[in-house]
């Protein structure tokens, strides 16, 4: 894979430590992390990887990823895909743009609709992929359309109705060979002071209820219909439970934290035990919100 550098498809980091690329801060390595500068470089690189049958994955902020081992392949970061255009209530933004940064920027302009995203780490592309959300809102409510790279490496526009947004999932999550390049988001005019008050109130609530002092990847499981995953996990006695360096947070039971040099295996074992315990007691199948990278 030394030829990867000769392709001149952006910055290439060899033997990259995944502590820098995931919010769980797990100490694994990836063969390569590549930062293409534009769509042409991305297409050139993907053509090479597909031709050589080399494993690859697009990653954003790594805020929903669980690596169980070293990644034998190429991780692709779209950080350079970060153009931003704001025209009245229409926002066109690159997939690599930081979601919290965007949400705060538009909120300070008096645009409402992204208040929910001011506490969600990651990139715009990752948020659309996962249909990230909070406070009864999500990306599906605000995304008008996205530009994607298809599995055939063609550029195409997909509209909201084609993106199949549902609770913590989307067309992109079910069709992982499609890559989000940018998005058009539609917001509304609002009262700037009221918007910022809502954001500040929610920030305080997060500080009170979430274990922000340890590395984690946010909510582990989706909330079952008319129920809460954290409540079920607590009721089966898993709050504070540890496996290796991974621990179910005592502050919020739907968070697993890397308390001390956790491995991906530690986290996955804890996930599987929780799923089994909740299934046995309540006959509820908890669905994973995070992704175990294969």
Tens digits of residue pLDDT in 8-54: 999 999 999 999 999 999 999 999 999 999 999 999 999 999 999 99
Say whether pLDDT at 199 is over 90: yes
Q: Within this chain, do residues 96 and 188 fall inside the same structural domain, yes or no? A: yes
Q: Which of 193, 221, 249 is the last residue of a domain?
A: 193
219 included as an active-site residue: yes
289 included as an active-site residue: yes
275 in a structural domain? yes
> Which CATH number characterizes residue 243's domain?
3.90.78.10
222 in a structural domain? yes
Neighbours of 188 (CB within 10 A): 10
199 in a structural domain? no
> Which CATH number characterizes residue 135's domain?
3.30.465.10
Q: Identify the pLDDT of residue 146.
A: 98
User: Confidence class of residue 5 from pLDDT cuts 50, 70 and 90?
Assistant: confident
205 in a structural domain? no
The total domain count for the chain is 3
Q: Within this chain, do residues 248 and 284 fall inside the same structural domain, yes or no? A: yes
Catalytic residue among 168, 170, 216, 249: 168
201 in a structural domain? no
Q: Within this chain, do residues 68 and 104 fall inside the same structural domain, yes or no? A: no
Say whether pLDDT at 2 is over 80: no
Mean pLDDT of all residues belonging to the chain:
97
Residues 48-77, mean pLDDT to the nearest whole number: 96
120 in a structural domain? yes
> Which CATH number characterizes residue 32's domain?
3.30.43.10
206 in a structural domain? no
Q: Identify the pLDDT of residue 236.
A: 98
168 included as an active-site residue: yes
Collect all residues with Cβ–Cβ distance below 8 Å to 53 and sequence separation of at least 6: none
Q: What percent of the chain has pLDDT over 90?
A: 97
User: Is 220 in contact with 278 (CB distance < 8 Å)?
Assistant: no
The domain in which residue 62 lies consists of: 3-77
Cα-flanking dihedrals φ and ψ of residue 57, to 5°? -155, 135
243 in a structural domain? yes
For 81-102, the pLDDT digits (tens) are 999 999 999 999 999 999 999 9
Catalytic residue among 107, 145, 219, 249: 219
Residues 176-182, mean pLDDT to the nearest whole number: 96
For 162-175, the pLDDT digits (tens) are 999 999 999 999 99
Q: Within this chain, do residues 30 and 110 fall inside the same structural domain, yes or no? A: no
Say if residue 226 is exposed, middle or buried (CB neighbours under 10 Å; 0-12, 13-18, 19+): exposed
DSSP the chain: -THHHHT--SEEEEEEEGGGT-TT----EEEEEEE-SSHHHHHHHHHHHHHTT--EEEESS-TTEEE-S-EEEEEEE-TT---EEEETTEEEEETTSBHHHHHHHHHHTTEES-GGGGG--SBHHHHHHHT-EETTEEGGGTEEEEEEE-TTS-EEEEEGGGS--BTTB-HHHH-TT-EEEEEEEE-EE--HHHHHHHHHHHHHHHHHHS-TTS-EEEESBPPPTTS-HHHHHHHTT-TT-EETTEEE-SS-TTEEEE-SS--HHHHHHHHHHHHHHHHHHH---PPBSSEEE-
Q: Identify the pLDDT of residue 64.
A: 93
Say whether pLDDT at 1 is over 70: no
Residue for token digits 């392949």? Answer: 73
Q: Within this chain, do residues 249 and 286 fall inside the same structural domain, yes or no? A: yes
For 225-266, the pLDDT digits (tens) are 999 999 999 999 999 999 999 999 999 999 999 999 999 999
């Amino acid at each position: 894979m030394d030829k990867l550098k000769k392709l001149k498809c952006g910055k290439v980091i060899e033997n990259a430590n995944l502590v820098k690329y995931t919010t769980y801060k797990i100490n694994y390595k990836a063969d390569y992390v590549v930062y293409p500068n534009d769509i042409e470089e991305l297409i050139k690189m993907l053509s090479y990887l597909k031709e050589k049958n080399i494993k690859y994955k697009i990653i954003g902020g790594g805020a929903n990823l669980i690596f169980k081992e070293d990644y034998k392949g190429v991780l692709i970061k779209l950080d350079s895909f970060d153009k931003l255009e704001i025209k009245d209530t229409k926002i066109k933004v690159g997939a690599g743009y930081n979601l919290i940064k965007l949400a705060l920027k538009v909120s300070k302009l008096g645009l409402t609709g992204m208040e929910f995203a001011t506490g969600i780490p990651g990139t715009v592309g990752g948020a659309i992929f996962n249909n990230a959300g909070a406070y009864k809102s999500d990306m599906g409510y605000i995304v008008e359309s996205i530009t994607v790279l298809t599995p055939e490496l063609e550029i195409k526009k997909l509209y909201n109705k084609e993106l199949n947004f549902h609770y913590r999932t989307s067309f992109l999550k079910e069709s992982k060979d499609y890559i989000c390049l940018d998005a058009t988001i539609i917001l509304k005019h609002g009262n700037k002071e009221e918007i910022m008050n809502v954001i500040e109130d929610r920030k305080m609530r997060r500080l009170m209820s979430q274990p922000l002092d340890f590395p984690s990847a946010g909510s582990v499981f989706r909330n079952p219909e008319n129920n809460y995953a954290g409540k079920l996990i607590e009721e089966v006695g898993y709050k504070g439970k540890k496996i290796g360096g991974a621990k179910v947070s005592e502050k919020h039971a739907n968070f697993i934290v890397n308390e001390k040099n956790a491995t991906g295996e530690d986290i996955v074992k804890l996930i599987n035990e929780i799923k089994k315990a909740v299934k046995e007691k309540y006959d509820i199948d908890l669905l994973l919100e995070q992704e175990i990278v294969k």
